[in-house]
Copies of this chain bind each other. A is one copy, B any other.
């Protein structure tokens, strides 16, 4: 049985009109799917309005107690519920979930050597039984990037990481396609040319593109993670523009072999 895991973030979270268009695409999809959403910039804006100082170490944000509260309120609260209400209005039986709900995603609090990252969690495990309960009932899980440690503490986790962990877990029983929606039409061979989408990447092609400098910098960690997922049982990872969500051959497909 097929199942899609679709990660959305950025402007799709912030722009109501874009989100409505995306939700209509979701409403036209037939196979079961799971949505994982990011947080956009709304949490940062709210922190600023509340005068909560932004703490950064080595360019990474520290989630102190006050920032965790804001993050949970925005991600699990406003963003998750407005998205679910929109989907329900279009006839999609969505259920918004954070990692604590049904014990869906447990995470380990991140340990730095001498750095306290605060309430940040790296995904430890995804509850297959919880996903199956919902998917078998025709429910579309809509997952916020908030996890828990299993001891009563909520944690802020990376949405890409949650999407990957959900896809890899589902890969044990389903034929899984993991889709990252982003602002390009796919991985571009020429960043200046939107029509230069690389349609397919295998491990050997990836090495080639990295070797000749076509793929570089910010795309590398994203693609490394994508290859990790296909190595861990996800059939295909796709990087696409959300407008192409209903185009089966759009974007860049990341697979193990042709």
Chain A residues at the B interface, C-beta cutoff of 8 Å:
49-50, 69, 72-78, 80-82, 84-86, 88-89, 93-98, 100-103, 133, 137, 139, 146, 148, 150-154
A45 to chain B, nearest CB (A): 11
17 contacts between A and B (CB under 8 A): A72-B78, A72-B82, A76-B80, A76-B81, A81-B146, A84-B98, A84-B101, A86-B152, A88-B103, A88-B150, A89-B148, A89-B150, A89-B152, A94-B102, A95-B101, A96-B98, A96-B101
Q: How many copies of this chain sit in the oligomeric assembly? A: 2
User: In the complex, A97→B72 CA distance in Å?
Assistant: 14
User: In the complex, A23→B57 CA distance in Å?
Assistant: 36
Interface contact A93-B89, CB-CB below 8 Å: no
A32 to chain B, nearest CB (A): 15
Interface contact B84-A93, CB-CB below 8 Å: no
Interface contact A102-B72, CB-CB below 8 Å: no
Interface contact B133-A85, CB-CB below 8 Å: no
Which residues of the other chain, B, contact A146 by a CB distance below 8 angstroms? 81
Interface contact B154-A85, CB-CB below 8 Å: yes
Interface contact A103-B93, CB-CB below 8 Å: yes
Which residues of the other chain, B, contact A86 by a CB distance below 8 angstroms? 152
Closest to A154 in B: B85
Supposing A73-B74, A101-B94, A101-B96 touch, asked if A88 and B148 sit within 8 A by C-beta, the answer is: yes
Which residues of the other chain, B, contact A50 by a CB distance below 8 angstroms? 49-50
Which residues of the other chain, B, contact A151 by a CB distance below 8 angstroms? 89
